[in-house]
A and B are shown apart, each in its own frame.
Chain A
Amino acid sequence: MRVPLSWLGEYVDLPADATAESVMDDLVRVGFEEERAHRFDVSGPLVVGQVLEYVAEAQDNGKTIRWCQVQVAPTGEKAADGGESIRGIVCGASNFEVGDKVVVSLPGAVLPGDFKISARSTYGHISDGMIASGRELNFSDDHDGILRLATLGLDPNVGTDAIELLGLSDSAAEINVLPDRGYCLSIRGVGREYSHATGSEYRDPAGNAQPVHGEGFSLEIKDSLPIRGRKTSQSFVLRTVNGIDATRPTPTWMRARLKLAGMRSISLAVDITNYVMLELGQPVHAYDLDKIKGGFVIRRAAKGEALKTLDGQERKLHEEDLLITDESGPIGMAGVMGGASTEVSASTTNVLIEAAHFDGISIARSARRHKLFSEASKRYERGVDPRIGQLAAARVIQLLEVHAGGVAGTLGASYEDFDQATEIFLPMEFASSLVGVNYSGEEIEKVLREIGSEFSNVENGWSVKVPSWRPDLLHKSDLVEEIARITGYERIPARLPVAPPGKGLTRKQQFRTAVLNSLAASGCVEVLSYPFVSSSANDLFGNSAEAVSLANPIQEEASQLRLTLIPGLIETAKRNLSRGLTDLAIYEHGSIFIATKKLIPEFPETNSRPTKKQLADLESGIPSQPGYVGGLFIGSRPGSGTKSVVSGIGDAFEAARIVASAVGVELALVQSKPKGFHPGRSGDLMVNGVKVGIVGELSPAISKVKDLPRTVGVFELNLDELIAQAPKGVVAKPIGTLPAATQDLSLVVKQDIPAGDVLASVREGAGELLEEISLTDDYRGANIPEGTKSLTFALRFRAMDRTLTQAEASQARDNGVELAKQRFNAEIRS
Chain B
Amino acid sequence: MSLSESIQPAAVDKTVAEAIAHIQSANSIAELKKAKGIILGDGSALAALSAQLGKLPADQKAEAGKLVGSARAKVSEAFELREQQLGEQEEAKLLEQEAIDVTALPRLSRSGARHPLSLLQEKISDVFVGMGWEIAEGPEVESEWFNFDALNFDADHPARAMQDTFFVEPADQKLVLRTHTSPVQVRSMLEREVPIYVLCPGRVFRTDELDATHTPVFHQVEGLAVDKGLSMADLRGTLEHFARIMFGEEAKIRLRPSFFPFTEPSAELDVWHPGAKGGPRWVEWGGCGMVNPNVLIACGIDPEVYSGFAFGMGIERTLMFRNEVSDMHDMVEGDVRFSSQFGMVL
Please determine whether chains A and B interact with each other in the same assembly.
yes
Q: Which residues on A are within 8 Å of B, measured CB to CB?
A: 28-31, 33, 178-181, 228, 360-361, 364-365, 368, 381-382, 433-437, 475, 477-478, 480-481, 484-485, 489-490, 492-506, 509, 513, 516-517, 519-532, 548-554, 561, 572, 575-576, 579, 581, 583-586, 589-591, 593, 598-601, 603-604, 606-610, 615, 618, 621-623, 625, 637-638, 640-642
B207 touches A554 (CB 8 A): yes
- Check: B297 CB closer than 8 A to any chain A CB: yes
Contacts of B241-273 to chain A: CB distance below 8 A: 241, 254-259, 264-268
A516 touches B334 (CB 8 A): no
| Contact status of A623 and B141, CB under 8 A, knowing A180-B259, A492-B255, A608-B297 | yes
A480 touches B265 (CB 8 A): yes
Interface pairs (15), CB distance under 8 Å: A360-B156, A381-B158, A485-B265, A495-B237, A496-B237, A496-B241, A497-B238, A505-B129, A522-B109, A527-B334, A607-B298, A609-B300, A618-B143, A622-B142, A622-B175
Q: What 6 new A-B contacts, CB under 8 Å, besides A502-B131, A608-B297?
A: A435-B232, A480-B265, A525-B113, A576-B336, A609-B300, A618-B143
B256 touches A489 (CB 8 A): yes
A1 to chain B, nearest CB (A): 15
Q: Which of A180, A478, A609 is close to B299, meaning CB atoms less than 8 Å apart? A: A609
**Bound CA span A502–B335, Å:** 38
Q: Mark B148-189, 1 if CB is under 8 A from A, else 0.
A: 011010001111011000111111111101000000000000
- Check: B112 CB closer than 8 A to any chain A CB: yes
- Which B residues lie within 8 Å of A434 (CB)? 231-232, 265, 290, 307
- Which A residues lie within 8 Å of B167 (CB)? 550-552
| Contact status of A527 and B265, CB under 8 A, knowing A517-B114, A550-B168, A591-B140 | no
- Check: B327 CB closer than 8 A to any chain A CB: no
| Contact status of A608 and B207, CB under 8 A, knowing A31-B259, A364-B158, A502-B133 | no
- Which A residues lie within 8 Å of B240 (CB)? 494, 496
A601 touches B112 (CB 8 A): no
- Check: B203 CB closer than 8 A to any chain A CB: yes
B249 to chain A, nearest CB (A): 14
**Bound CA span A575–B158, Å:** 39
**Bound CA span A7–B71, Å:** 124
| Contact status of A599 and B344, CB under 8 A, knowing A500-B195, A505-B129, A522-B112 | no
- Which B residues lie within 8 Å of A575 (CB)? 333-335
- Which B residues lie within 8 Å of A505 (CB)? 125, 129, 135
| Contact status of A494 and B114, CB under 8 A, knowing A572-B334, A623-B175 | no
**Bound CA span A575–B112, Å:** 18
Q: Mark B292-335, 1 if CB is under 8 A from A, else 0.
A: 11100111100000010000000000000000000000011111
- Which B residues lie within 8 Å of A365 (CB)? 156
| Contact status of A492 and B233, CB under 8 A, knowing A434-B290, A501-B132, A509-B135 | yes
Name B227's closest neighbour in chain A (CB-CB): A497
- Which B residues lie within 8 Å of A548 (CB)? 141, 168, 175
- Which B residues lie within 8 Å of A552 (CB)? 166-167, 207
B109 touches A601 (CB 8 A): no
A477 touches B109 (CB 8 A): no
- Check: B103 CB closer than 8 A to any chain A CB: no
B169 touches A586 (CB 8 A): no
- Which A residues lie within 8 Å of B172 (CB)? 600
B234 touches A581 (CB 8 A): no
**Bound CA span A103–B169, Å:** 60
**Bound CA span A520–B297, Å:** 44
Q: Which of B168, B307, B334 is close to A528, meaning CB atoms less than 8 Å apart? A: B334
- Which A residues lie within 8 Å of B125 (CB)? 505, 509
A622 touches B150 (CB 8 A): no
B107 touches A638 (CB 8 A): yes
A525 touches B236 (CB 8 A): no
**Bound CA span A335–B201, Å:** 42
A504 to chain B, nearest CB (A): 6
Q: Which of A433, A489, A590, A604 is close to B145, meaning CB atoms less than 8 Å apart? A: A604
**Bound CA span A181–B125, Å:** 35
A490 to chain B, nearest CB (A): 8
- Which B residues lie within 8 Å of A625 (CB)? 139-141
A528 touches B112 (CB 8 A): no
Name A182's closest neighbour in chain B (CB-CB): B158
**Interface of A (DSSP majority class):** loop
B298 touches A606 (CB 8 A): yes
- Check: B190 CB closer than 8 A to any chain A CB: yes
- Check: B230 CB closer than 8 A to any chain A CB: yes
Q: Which of B109, B159, B161 is close to A638, meaning CB atoms less than 8 Å apart? A: B109
Q: Which of B197, B268, B293 is close to A502, meaning CB atoms less than 8 Å apart? A: B197
**Bound CA span A343–B146, Å:** 46
**Bound CA span A47–B335, Å:** 60
| Contact status of A519 and B106, CB under 8 A, knowing A478-B264, A525-B336, A593-B141 | no
A494 touches B158 (CB 8 A): no
- Which A residues lie within 8 Å of B333 (CB)? 572, 575
B317 to chain A, nearest CB (A): 16
Please provide the 4 A-B residue pairs with the shortest distance between their CB atoms, ordered closest to farther: A609-B300, A436-B233, A523-B110, A31-B257
- Which B residues lie within 8 Å of A504 (CB)? 129, 134
- Which A residues lie within 8 Å of B238 (CB)? 496-497
A525 to chain B, nearest CB (A): 4
| Contact status of A551 and B152, CB under 8 A, knowing A435-B232, A591-B140 | no
**Bound CA span A365–B155, Å:** 11
B156 touches A525 (CB 8 A): no
- Which A residues lie within 8 Å of B137 (CB)? 509
B183 to chain A, nearest CB (A): 10
B133 touches A618 (CB 8 A): no
- Which B residues lie within 8 Å of A551 (CB)? 166-171
- Check: B117 CB closer than 8 A to any chain A CB: yes
Name A362's closest neighbour in chain B (CB-CB): B156
Name B239's closest neighbour in chain A (CB-CB): A494
Q: Mark B81-122, 1 if CB is under 8 A from A, else 0.
A: 000000000000000000000000011111111110110001
B115 touches A598 (CB 8 A): no
Name B137's closest neighbour in chain A (CB-CB): A509
**Bound CA span A526–B114, Å:** 5
**Bound CA span A504–B197, Å:** 12
Name A642's closest neighbour in chain B (CB-CB): B106
- Check: B49 CB closer than 8 A to any chain A CB: no
- Which A residues lie within 8 Å of B237 (CB)? 493-497
Q: Which of B158, B241, B293, B298 is close to A609, meaning CB atoms less than 8 Å apart? A: B298
- Check: B70 CB closer than 8 A to any chain A CB: no
A550 touches B256 (CB 8 A): no
- Check: B339 CB closer than 8 A to any chain A CB: yes
Q: Which of A517, A528, A553 is close to B332, meaning CB atoms less than 8 Å apart? A: A528
- Which B residues lie within 8 Å of A521 (CB)? 112, 344
A489 touches B233 (CB 8 A): no
A438 to chain B, nearest CB (A): 11
**Bound CA span A824–B145, Å:** 58
| Contact status of A609 and B190, CB under 8 A, knowing A528-B332, A551-B168 | yes
**Bound CA span A555–B77, Å:** 90
| Contact status of A499 and B207, CB under 8 A, knowing A521-B112, A551-B167, A606-B150 | no
- Check: B55 CB closer than 8 A to any chain A CB: no
- Check: B64 CB closer than 8 A to any chain A CB: no
Q: Which of A496, A500, A525, A618 is close to B112, meaning CB atoms less than 8 Å apart? A: A525
| Contact status of A621 and B236, CB under 8 A, knowing A581-B337, A608-B300 | no
- Check: B59 CB closer than 8 A to any chain A CB: no
A531 touches B132 (CB 8 A): no
A525 touches B195 (CB 8 A): no
- Which B residues lie within 8 Å of A481 (CB)? 257, 264-266
Name B130's closest neighbour in chain A (CB-CB): A502
B264 touches A477 (CB 8 A): yes
B334 touches A529 (CB 8 A): yes
- Check: B5 CB closer than 8 A to any chain A CB: no
| Contact status of A499 and B225, CB under 8 A, knowing A436-B233, A477-B293, A622-B139 | yes
- Check: B57 CB closer than 8 A to any chain A CB: no
| Contact status of A527 and B339, CB under 8 A, knowing A178-B259, A481-B264, A600-B172 | yes
